[in-house]
Amino acid sequence: ALGVAQMESLPNYIKSKRDLAIKYQNWGIDNEYTFVSESLNSQSNYWLNCVITNNKKNRDLMLKVTNESNIMTRPTWTPMHKLSMFQHCQRTDMKNTESLANRIVNVPSSPILIN
């Protein structure tokens, strides 16, 4: 019964998350920030919203200002090739991954919008 109830509310959660993503994207356009958005011919559930800053310094400043203002943000996860358990694994040049990891901020993504 719990699973059925959760499945029934899923479309509303996804709609709410997509609405939040649009608000973030519009704010980003007005403030010269880029938010991760869905690719053409796809439909994201926007379970996690992320902003891409220009550089690590701007990322760190955004993290400082938002967290000091009680807006809980965090840097993105550590790329897998940087984790000790995968240090020995074969990989190619990871400069794009490392560049993004140094610039992405995860922002609040609750499905319940508070205006």
pLDDT of 111 > 80? The answer is no
Q: 3: burial class by Cβ within 10 Å (0-12, 13-18, 19+)? A: exposed
Residue 1 is predicted with a pLDDT of: 77
Residue 114 is predicted with a pLDDT of: 61
The per-residue pLDDT for range 26-73, each reduced to its tens digit, is: 999 999 899 999 999 999 999 999 999 999 999 999 999 999 999 999
Residue 113 is predicted with a pLDDT of: 59
What residues have CB less than 8 Å from 38, skipping those under 6 apart? Answer: 44, 46
**Is the Cβ–Cβ distance between 73 and 63 less than 8 Å?**
yes
- The strands making up 34-35's β-sheet, listed across from edge to edge, are 34-35, 49-52, 104-107, 74-75
The per-residue pLDDT for range 79-92, each reduced to its tens digit, is: 999 999 998 999 89
